[in-house]
Every structure is written in C-alpha cells, then in structure tokens.
Structure 1
Amino acid sequence: MSQPQPAALAPAPSVVVRAGTTAGAAVREAGLPGKGPDAIVVVRDPDGRLRDLSWSPDSDVTVEAVAADTEDGRSVIRHSCAHVLAQAVQQQFPEAKLGIGPPVRDGFYYDFDVERPFTPEDLQALEKRMKQIIKGAQRFSRRVVESVDAAKQELAAEPYKLELVDIKSDVDTSEVMEVGGGELTVYDNLDPRSGDQVWGDLCRGPHVPTTKHIPAFKLTRVAAAYWRGNEKNPQLQRIYGTAWESQEALDAHLEKIAEAERRDHRRLGAELDLFSFPDEIGSGLAVFHPKGGIIRQELEDYSRRRHVEAGYEFVYSPHITKGALFETSKHLEWYKDGMFPGMHLDAELNVDGTVRKPGQDYYLKPMNCPFHNLIYRSRGRSYRELPLRLFEFGSVYRYEKSGVVHGLTRVRGMTQDDAHIYVTREQLLPEIRSLLAFVLDLLRDYGLDDFYLELSTRNDEKYVGTDEQWAEATAILREAAESSGLELVLDPGGAAFYAPKISVQAKDALGRTWQMSTIQIDFQLPDLFNLEYTASDGSRQQPYMIHRALFGSIERFFGVLTEHYAGAFPAWLSPVQAVGIPIAEDHVEHLQQIAKSLRAKGIRVDVDTSDDRMQKKIRNHTLQKVPFLLVAGAKDVEAGSVSFRFRDGSQVNGIPVDRAVDAIHHWIQRRENTSPTAETFTLD
C-alpha cells in the first residue's frame, strides 16, 4: 500500500525589485504582509541566495518573498535572535568574547568565552535584557568591510572573530555564515531614532529588518563546547535558544519539548523497570531487566518469523576475531577509530621470557559482514542458490566517544538485525525493491508508518572502488527508491567507505525523524574476500552483495519505540498484558481462574493480591501502562463476568468471562498497535 505524500507547499509569492529600489519596498508595494506569522522577512534572488529586505539590486530582478513561518524564514529569525543574545551577553558581561552563533534545527546557539559558566539566573537576566533590545526595534544594517586589515583592526578585541577572518574561505557552514565566504560583512544593530551603532557582529547574514521581527524566543540551556569543535581548542560556554514566528508557534514547540522529556526512554526505562546502565559495566552498555527482556524477545521473535517467511537463513558468529579478518575487510584501514582497541593474545614465551611463538591482535567485532562472507566462502556456490539471504541477530561493539553515548539510541554494545544477501547482477534491482517493501511492511507492523527515504552518496575523500561501480550502485538504489513512491532526499557524501545506501527515515508520534533500516550495495567485499559462484554456463562469477539492517540495532529500535509509544506499548509487546484487580479479597479466586484461562492462551497476566485499596491498584498498574485491567466485585463473581478498565480511564462493565478472554486473546493475536479503549475494544 502506497504511503500518502506530504501536502505540497504553496509557492512563494514573486515580486519584481526595480533597480535602485529595495526588496522591502517591492514587498510593500505588492501588498504582502509585514507583520504576523506570515510576514515577509527576506527575499530569495534568482541565484537562490537569501537577501535582506534592504537589499537594492543594480538591475530589475524577480525575487521570491520568504515568510517568517517557512523554514528559511525561521532560520533567519533564529540567527537574528542569536545576534540579540550576543548583544545582551556583552552588555551583561562586558569582557565576554564572541565565538559563533548559527541557526540550528528548531533553534540557535551562540558560543562565548567568559570567566565563569553561565547559571540559570544568568539566562533569566539575559532573556529580560533581550526582550528590552527587541522592544527597542533596533535595525539590522549590513556593511561590507573593505579589507582583511580593516576587519582585523575593527575586531582587534575579538580573538575568535580574528581567526574566522583568516579562514574566510573555509567551507564549514556555521563559520561561513560568520565571515560571508569571499566577502567580509558586518551587521550593525542601529538605534531606530539616532541611527547610531549600538552593537555589531561579523556575519554573512541575512537578517530580519528589525529586532521587532523576532516575535517569540526562549533561551533553553547552557553547555560547554570546544571552539570550532576541536578538543585542543579553548572550551567556551554555549547558550542554546529557540525562536519562532509567533508566540503560539513557540508555545507549541515548548510543549513538544516537554512531551519529549516525558517520553524520554531513559526515564521510562527506569520507571517501567525495563533496562539500566550500571556503572560497573561501563558507558553505553545496557542490561535489560525481565520486563524489558519480554519486549525485546517479542520484537525479535516476530522479526524472526517474518524473515523465515521471506526466505532468510539464520547464522551465528562470535563476538571476537583475529585482526587479520578486519585487515581483509579494510575495517582496520577505514574504521579503526570506531573499533575497540585490539587485545594481544596467544603469545608463547620461553622460560627465559623470550618469545617462542608471537601473539596476535584480536578485536571485538564492529560489523557482522566479514563473518557472513566467510560463511558464504566456506564451500562452492551455484547460481541456483542465489539470492542467498543470511540473517543474524549479531552483537557488535563500537567505540563511541563518551560525549555522544545516549541511552539506548547511541550505545557501545548493540545487537544488529543484520542480513547480507548475495545475488547475481540480474537479481540486484528486483531484490532491492523486494527488500525495501519487506522492511517498510515490517516497520509498519511495529507501528511506524510515516516514512521518507534518504540516498547517501559517495564521500569523495573516503571510499574504495571505481567510479563506475559507485555510479552503477547509486543508480540502482535510486531507481528502487523512486519506485517505492516515497519521498527521496539526497545525502551527498553520507555513504560508508565501501558502498552507497538507502536509509528509511521514520517519523515517530512527535513528528521526530529517526533513521531506521539501511540497504547498501557492496562491490568491494565480494572482491576482497574472493567470493564466487558457478554461473549457468559453468563460468566462475562474483556475486553482488547487499547489506541490510532492519532495526539498525535492537537497542536503538527499543529506545525509539519506547518514546513513540510513551512507554504504553501495544498489548502484544507489553511485558504485562493484563492484571486482575479484586475489589475485595473474596473476589481474588474468581480473577485467578480468569488469569488461568488467559495464561492457557499465552497471555501474560497477574492478579494483584496486595493490601492496597482498589483505586490505588488501578492507579499503580495504569502508571505501569498495563493495557487491560480486569476488575471484579461481588456482582461479577455472581454473574461469571468481569469489568475492563483501560489506560485512558474508560471502562466496560459486566462482560462474560469467556467473551472477555477471547476478546483479549484476539486483540493481541491481531497485533493491534493502538491502546484498547472502551470505544475501540470489540467483544465480537
């Protein structure tokens, strides 16, 4: 079933800017809004460059008007707000030195060199000062600096800006935004009455016309950051913030952040007793508790079943190997920084301590693919065996830096649902199309159904193979992706060193995007491992190899689903699917008989026989996200029935026990991904 495509955005209005006039004048003459969420804040020239409304072309030109409530419009608002923040900081802390302040996804930041870290009280004071600056309607005015020497003279008190002047041709986006590529420009904040400069910053721009065009903002947090991302450089203080085209948009964003915090899988993992990260084990290494183990087992078991149906064969490989294997695969050449250090083993010494037999390095595996190639190569292969689909839940280990380790979504030890498929050239395109359909259908089975595809192409500074191989692989992946009907987004230079890839980008319940499944064509490893098959004409041919991870890793997928469902997993995944709650002790036996019937159908069920009152029991198990609460009192015992209480607080009373048991069983068997309610739960 094809997925609905996003609604097309209305085309941006075009206006003609006459020579010698300004873009702002043309926008006003066209009657376009100057206030409100859809106010025009900048224009886009025919070359695609964003220009200030004060821009005046040398000849007549048609431009696109860019509104505040577009991505480009918000980006300009946010960068302008970063300037206001920097102005406020230097007014509040006169000795502060400026780093950079680019817009980022949903917000902005600015780096400062200050004597002490910023406090929450500092942020409150800075917000107050920023509101005063915005209310003052200062005008953003672009000024070209005549020369590098002139810029250095003007910025003599700003050491970090001086460094940017010296690297003005650097291609890094955030730094170019500061220095303007080949042209040095400063944006002055001018007093609206006197026209005097109040503050200024080296910057490419563009900016909103005045500070009053920053309708709503919020400073969110402070973090330490190394200058230009290099740990050898000074550590600065980074203030993060967000800015939007209206207070309503800001409020919606802040509520989304609050909801994301409520859904944080690390928090829910502790509250629901699913997993933990004991200090004794190490950073990025998770243990799953019994309840988390049930969810993980259900995820894996259903995936195994679907893979068997799709013709995969299961294999297993060790966690550790001699380094020679990763020398053959080139991982030690291209990926060593992402691997745990080698362990030197097997050396044998003489009595006098001299080496009788030299040892060798062993490594924890970061990838499963070299092992699968050895399985393929273990005997001769015929074209009749292809496609050969090898699948493994294989544990791998990657040395992620401590600063990027994050709960289950960025770990050092993970289990990949890894498949490697060996095909002929003729089988390549249809197999990738089939693979893509398979992974999308399986992700939908787990409750994710809003996708787009990303095509990662070659990094020209880090790759192996020929131009022809990369072009062919990229073309095949593009054709398969386009035939899916999903939106396709390019990721230039984002491929691994050995192959281009398609990645499935899935949106969760909050609209956040997560990279899920990946599909890669690999021309390199079959050659490096001398993989062959006997073709129908008796010749020896090299197979094509496809890498495919569906979840990416079980750990990461577990974390994503936890946040997607806010811990309220579908009943088929819930560690406890039903709990019996007696109104009084006399009703316990009735519920235990119901529980026995449910267990006979494979349902995970408990009966709460604690001394807590009924309402507290209901609250406790609701907080534990149990999908079916079965409440029984004297009338239910007498009638042979039971009452349902659901996660949303709705209720269905007096259901005959047999119907209740069958209804729960059928709901779980259908793998419904929504939470049952009195309205949706059917008893037929």
Structure 2
Amino acid sequence: MVKEEYLEVYRHSLAHILAKAVMEIFGKENVQIAIGPQIADGFYYDFILPRTVTKEDYKTIENKMTEILKRKEDFTVKEVSKEEALKLFADQKFKVELINDLPEGEKITVYNTGDDFYDLCRGPHVPNAQELLSASFEIKSVSGAYWRGDEHRDMLQRIYVYAFPDKQQLKEHKKLIQEALERDHKKIGPALDLFMFDETAPGMPYWLPRGWKMFNALLDYWRGIHDKKGYEEIAAPVVNSTVLWKTSGHWAHYKNNMFLMYNEEADDNTDPDDIFKFALKPMNCPNAMMVYRRKQHSYKDLPIRYNETDLVHRKEKSGQLNGLFRVQLFRQDDCHLFVTEDQIGSEIKNIMSIANDIYNTFGLTYRVELSTRPEDFMGDINVWNKAEESLKNVLNEMFGEGGYEINEGDGAFYGPKIDLKMKDCLGREWQTGTIQLDFQLPKNFELKYVAADGSMKQPVVLHRAIFGSFERFFGIITENFKGAFPFWLSPYQVGVVPILPEHNEYAKEVADLLDKAGVRVEANYSDNNMNSKIKTFKNYKDPYIIVIGDKEVAERTVSINIRGTNKKLNNVPLEKFIEMCKQMNETHSLDVIDTID
C-alpha cells in the first residue's frame, strides 16, 4: 500500500475510534452518529450530542481515544443484508437514512471495533487498533454542520481532528497552519488598507485607495501581456435579458446562482420561466458570443481573441463566502477565442505560454488537469468525445502521456476543460487557470465564418482565464507574499521621509521625479518625528523608505531603508535610485534590489 493510501486508511480508522470515544464519554444512548470521513490533514466525525463540546472537552476525548487504542481491539468487517443493517442501527437515525437510500442489492458492510462499537462503512481499516498506537492526533476544532449540507436538516456537531503518523509530522503541520493564519488575506487586506467588506453588500469587496492602486497595477500588467499576444479588449452589459441566458443554456444549469430581476408584467398566469426578465451576468461568455455575431467573419479573421474584465455576480450561500476567495461580485480575467478546429492546438499552446509567463512572474508553479464530460452535459456526446480527444492530443504533445491528471466528470456543462492548479509558497494548491473547449455555445448562438471553400462553418470557442478572477488571485498572492508584494505590484512603492521641515522642499522634488518616472510614491511632510513616519510606511510594507536629511539635500542623494531587512543603502544618487525603480517596474521583478552597483 502506498503512503497516501495508508494515510487514508489510518485516518479513517481513527475516525471510528473518535466515534467510539464520544459514545463512551456521553453514553451510547445519548449520541447520534452521522459520518466520519478522512480529510487532507486528519478526519472529522459528525454527531448529535446532549450538550455542546467545548475546548475543555478536547483533552478528555483525546485521552479516551488513547485508552481505546491501548485495548488493541480488532477491526472486523461483516457483510449484512439491508434488513439486518436497519435492525442493527435502529436507534441511529442518520445510519437508517443512509441505509434506506442504498439501491436494492447494494453490498452493505459493517465494521466492528471491539465488541461494543460498530459502524456502517465500506472500509478498509487497519486490522487492529495497536497499529494506531504510534499515531499523533489532536482535536483541531468543533463546528456546526447541517446533515447532508441541507440548512433545513439537523444541525450536527462536527469534531475535526488532526492526525499524522508521528509527533514530528503533527508539529510541522501545526506550524504550517499557524503560518497560514498569519498570512490570512482577510486580516492582511484590511490591515494594509487594501479592501474591506460590509454586511450591506455580503461577499462584495470594497476596494480601498491603496488596494485599488495595486488592483490596477495587476490589471495593467495583464493587459500588457495580452496586447502583445493579439488580444482585443471588449466590455459588455452587466445586466442582460433572460433570453440571452436561455439561448446560451446557462438558464437551465445556473439559474439558482444568478441574481434575478422580476418581470413587472408577470401575473399568476405567467409561465414560471418568464417570471424573471433580467439577470446580473454570472459570466461573460454569452456576451462575447454576441460581439462575435455582430458581423460576418472569414476564416482569414480567425483566430479572434477577445479579453474582458467586466463585473460578474454569482449568488452564493452565506456560509460559503470566504474573503476574496469566495465572493458574489468579482472580475474574471476572461478571454474568449474564436478559432477553426485546426487552430485549437496552436492556440492552447499560446495560452499555456501566457500562463507560464504570468505564474513565473509571481514565482508560482502549477500542475495540469484535464476535466471531462459531467453528468449534466449539454449537446451531442460525439462532439464531446471529439473535444476531449483534441485536448488530450495537445496535452500529450506538451507534457507527454502521464504528464497531467484526468479529472473524470468535472468538465463544464458545455465542454471539457484544462485546469491549472497553482501551488503557493506554503505548498497549498489553488484552482486558478482554466481553458475550456466549447462546441456548444457557437451552435446555440448560430455562429459562423466563411471557410476557404466558401462554405459556412461553425467556429470553436476557447474560454480561458489564468488568474481565475482578479479578486481570488489577489487573495492568493496576498497570502503568498504575506502582504510584502513585489516592488512592481506594491500599492505604494516608495515612502519619502524628510527628517525636518527644512528638508521638505527636496523631499517634494524627489517625490515628483519618482511620480513622473511612473513610481507610486507617498511622502510624509508632517512635523512628526522621523521614526514615527518610518513606522507608518513600514506598517504598510512599502518596499523602500527613503530618508532625507542635510547630507542628502546637499548631495542630491537618498538614503534607503529596505523592507524586511535591517539593511540600508546610504547616499544613493537620486538618478540611480529612480533608474532602479523603473527597472523593477519594467521587468516585473520578483525581488527588491538591495545593492547598488
């Protein structure tokens, strides 16, 4: 058994030990057990208990689990009939529900841990609890969770537990978790005055002046790359008639996630599908189809590459919102390419080239997944097979067979896709980029081009994003850089500190010259003392803080404090410093220059 598979068995077995411990502590007759799967760093189990579990209970539960492990009880499995299973779990309503939901003839297995605890489970488990004695586990937290994720069902207590093969691995993981908490963009963003949220607009970020400067620096960088690659930027309405979404097919698949506007003319006799007249757009695709459709195109025009950054809105459950990672209003770095079938391969390669350039700029790595046809797919299955084969051929050519993963059934409803899973400095993986191959929307919108032989043919559409959304990517890089962004991306790049009022005139000249050179600069001309001014800019994580005193004024130099270090560069010629800043902006340097040649 490979290590990862062993960890799954190991953690799943410990979940049964947790359930048994909770039953022994609270009394079997007082506990309803639900489910207890393993997860990335341990496992959880859901319960209904006679009272709320508090932090004071954690050690008691952990000690009881250790006590059970020391009994060295066997994990035994038994196949039972549906009737036997229902009788065995008659006093456990969640298990009864799960059993009743099983199709007729489904194999049902029950695992015993010792003689007094059994659970409905497919397994596998370790043969004996003694294999878990070296385990290092610790209760992480307790939270509420609705049964089967349904807010209308029972509220359960979910006990999360860290679980690793030894103490050192648990210690390292907790250290990583602490580091991740310190990097939480929901704390860093407001602390650096980048963005905020308010209950009057749940899941819809307010961009503050500093954050908006950074947002636009990111947008300018993105636009610069695409301008060089032959993309044309468009903008489209944020509100569209539901007719558009019905034509595209999104209405049938995505209506519940859309912000809808009632049809004022609707009455009791109105068809349910016509109750709503307009919707805030949840994606840009249909509008891009409309832009293409506005006039006739020739094969000589293709590929046509449109990029756009319009606002989109998606309705989410309140419990799913998570800072910039899960919002209801955002801007996708959206692109739609209209191509001939024989251009698919070359265009995907070009997209991957852009992805490499962008991720390398941020020092980020990624892996590739091919997501295939979902159950609720739209269109002809033969077209789907053709589309999937096209993507596989491209990926095989670029990465070799086995150089990417296949994620069965996770494609968009209108076509298969390539997903780019990005990894940050903590080793966390994020779904960011995607390339979706679409034969369906061109068909729905009756898109055509004049082929070389004079016939009318249907273009293929490539939907693609590299950031995923600006907001989400902003959150990811905030955590990745811990708020200390690369020079070119920082909201303000240079803070100017004149020591005394008589140094203000030269300080203003320095600030003006930096601004003229395209450097984002902020200066403090107040009567506050030097250390106070420096501290303010340090708290905002400005890459450079330049201090100006008598010597700097006399020699037309600057003295530089470098972010995150005790290193200082004294009496640097002003012109030299400006060139340094321009160089980092032009090259989108990941590192801040800390030496002067």
Does TM, scored on the shorter chain, surpass 0.5?
yes
Match of 1:216 in 2: 136
What amino acid is the match of 2:122? R
Alpha-carbon shift at residue 233 of structure 1 (Å): 2.7
* Structure 1 spans left out of the alignment, 5+ residues: 1-43, 45-65, 172-180, 190-196, 350-357
Residues 444-484 of structure 1 deviation map (CA, whole Å, 9 limit, x = unaligned): 22x0431111111001x311222221111111112222333
Given candidates 233, 236, 243, the residue that maps to 2:153 is 233
Match of 2:123 in 1: 205
Q: Decide whether aligned partners of structure 1 residues 588 and 169 sit closer, same or farther in structure 2, where only a CA change above 3 A counts.
A: farther
What amino acid is the match of 2:165? E
Given candidates 94, 98, 120, the residue that maps to 1:160 is 94
Residues 212-247 of structure 1 deviation map (CA, whole Å, 9 limit, x = unaligned): 435211211122112233334322111111101111
Q: How far apart, in 2, do the equivalents of 1:463 and 1:547 lie? A: 16
What amino acid is the match of 1:632? I
Q: Decide whether aligned partners of structure 1 residues 539 and 153 sit closer, same or farther in structure 2, where only a CA change above 3 A counts.
A: closer
Given candidates 483, 491, 498, the residue that maps to 2:397 is 483
**2:181 maps to 1:265:** no
**2:178 maps to 1:276:** no
Equivalent residues in 2 for 1:455-534 (5 A)?
455-459=370-374, 461-485=375-399, 487-534=403-450
The residue matched to 1:625 in structure 2 has which SS?
A: coil
Match of 1:681 in 2: 594
Residues 170-213 of structure 1 deviation map (CA, whole Å, 9 limit, x = unaligned): 99xxxxxxxxx614222313xxxxxxx36443333333332543
Judge conservation of contact 2:418–2:436 (CA < 8 Å) in 1. Answer: yes
Q: Decide whether aligned partners of structure 1 residues 200 and 541 sit closer, same or farther in structure 2, where only a CA change above 3 A counts.
A: closer
Match of 1:383 in 2: 299
Match of 2:270 in 1: none
Match of 1:655 in 2: 572
What amino acid is the match of 1:71? E
Q: How far apart, in 1, do the equivalents of 2:196 and 2:161 lie? A: 31
Match of 1:355 in 2: none
Alpha-carbon shift at residue 77 of structure 1 (Å): 2.3
The residue matched to 1:139 in structure 2 has which SS?
A: coil
What amino acid is the match of 1:84? I
Equivalent residues in 2 for 1:290-309 (5 A)?
290-309=209-228
Residues 101-149 of structure 1 deviation map (CA, whole Å, 9 limit, x = unaligned): 1101222110001133322222343234334444x25333213155444
Q: Decide whether aligned partners of structure 1 residues 374 and 499 sit closer, same or farther in structure 2, where only a CA change above 3 A counts.
A: same
Match of 1:41 in 2: none
Match of 1:72 in 2: 5
- With 558-567 and 226-235 compared, the bigger mean Cα shift is at 226-235
Alpha-carbon shift at residue 441 of structure 1 (Å): 1.7
* Structure 2 spans left out of the alignment, 5+ residues: 268-273
Residues 603-654 of structure 1 deviation map (CA, whole Å, 9 limit, x = unaligned): 1112233454434433332221111111234444444433222222231333
Q: How far apart, in 2, do the equivalents of 1:378 and 1:500 lie? A: 27
Q: How far apart, in 2, do the equivalents of 1:442 and 1:562 lie? A: 16
Judge conservation of contact 1:214–1:244 (CA < 8 Å) in 2. Answer: no
What amino acid is the match of 1:127? E
Judge conservation of contact 2:448–2:459 (CA < 8 Å) in 1. Answer: yes
Given candidates 599, 621, 626, the residue that maps to 2:515 is 599
Match of 2:262 in 1: 343
Given candidates 166, 170, 179, the residue that maps to 1:250 is 170
Match of 1:81 in 2: 14
Judge conservation of contact 2:367–2:422 (CA < 8 Å) in 1. Answer: yes
- With 398-407 and 569-578 compared, the bigger mean Cα shift is at 398-407
Residue identity over aligned pairs, in percent, reads: 37
Match of 1:539 in 2: 455
More helix by share: 2
Judge conservation of contact 1:535–1:541 (CA < 8 Å) in 2. Answer: yes
Q: Decide whether aligned partners of structure 1 residues 323 and 147 sit closer, same or farther in structure 2, where only a CA change above 3 A counts.
A: closer
What amino acid is the match of 1:182? K
Residues 508-565 of structure 1 deviation map (CA, whole Å, 9 limit, x = unaligned): 1111111112111111111111111111221111111111122221111111111111
Match of 1:450 in 2: 365
Given candidates 305, 330, 344, the residue that maps to 2:249 is 330
Given candidates 652, 670, 684, the residue that maps to 2:587 is 670
Q: How far apart, in 2, do the equivalents of 1:528 and 1:477 lie? A: 22
Q: How far apart, in 2, do the equivalents of 1:380 and 1:660 lie? A: 53
Equivalent residues in 2 for 1:53-68 (5 A)?
66=2
Match of 2:271 in 1: none
- With 88-97 and 310-319 compared, the bigger mean Cα shift is at 88-97
Match of 2:490 in 1: 574
Q: Decide whether aligned partners of structure 1 residues 124 and 633 sit closer, same or farther in structure 2, where only a CA change above 3 A counts.
A: farther
Q: How far apart, in 2, do the equivalents of 1:98 and 1:385 lie? A: 62
What amino acid is the match of 2:159? I
The residue matched to 1:184 in structure 2 has which SS?
A: strand
Given candidates 290, 299, 318, the residue that maps to 2:237 is 318
**2:51 maps to 1:126:** no
The residue matched to 1:89 in structure 2 has which SS?
A: helix
**2:58 maps to 1:143:** no
The residue matched to 1:295 in structure 2 has which SS?
A: helix
Q: Decide whether aligned partners of structure 1 residues 610 and 90 sit closer, same or farther in structure 2, where only a CA change above 3 A counts.
A: farther
Match of 1:111 in 2: 46
The residue matched to 1:509 in structure 2 has which SS?
A: coil
Q: How far apart, in 1, do the equivalents of 2:512 and 2:310 lie? A: 37
Alpha-carbon shift at residue 580 of structure 1 (Å): 2.0
Q: Decide whether aligned partners of structure 1 residues 468 and 146 sit closer, same or farther in structure 2, where only a CA change above 3 A counts.
A: closer
Q: How far apart, in 2, do the equivalents of 1:245 and 1:590 lie? A: 62
Q: How far apart, in 2, do the equivalents of 1:630 and 1:493 lie? A: 55
Judge conservation of contact 1:464–1:497 (CA < 8 Å) in 2. Answer: yes
Q: How far apart, in 2, do the equivalents of 1:348 and 1:99 lie? A: 44
Judge conservation of contact 2:66–2:133 (CA < 8 Å) in 1. Answer: no
Judge conservation of contact 1:169–1:182 (CA < 8 Å) in 2. Answer: no
Judge conservation of contact 1:81–1:214 (CA < 8 Å) in 2. Answer: no
Judge conservation of contact 1:77–1:213 (CA < 8 Å) in 2. Answer: no
Give TM-score, length-normalised by structure 2: 0.92
Residues 576-627 of structure 1 deviation map (CA, whole Å, 9 limit, x = unaligned): 1011234444544443332232122111112233454434433332221111
Q: How far apart, in 1, do the equivalents of 2:529 and 2:134 lie? A: 53
Judge conservation of contact 2:359–2:365 (CA < 8 Å) in 1. Answer: no
Judge conservation of contact 1:594–1:661 (CA < 8 Å) in 2. Answer: no
The residue matched to 2:289 in structure 1 has which SS?
A: helix
- With 249-258 and 578-587 compared, the bigger mean Cα shift is at 578-587
Give TM-score, length-normalised by structure 1: 0.81
How many residues align? The count is 584
| C-alpha RMSD over aligned residues | 2.4
Alpha-carbon shift at residue 504 of structure 1 (Å): 1.0
Q: How far apart, in 1, do the equivalents of 2:512 and 2:491 lie? A: 17
- With 503-512 and 427-436 compared, the bigger mean Cα shift is at 427-436
Residues 296-333 of structure 1 deviation map (CA, whole Å, 9 limit, x = unaligned): 11111111121111111121110111111111111112
Match of 1:60 in 2: none
Alpha-carbon shift at residue 502 of structure 1 (Å): 0.5
Q: How far apart, in 2, do the equivalents of 1:143 and 1:376 lie? A: 61
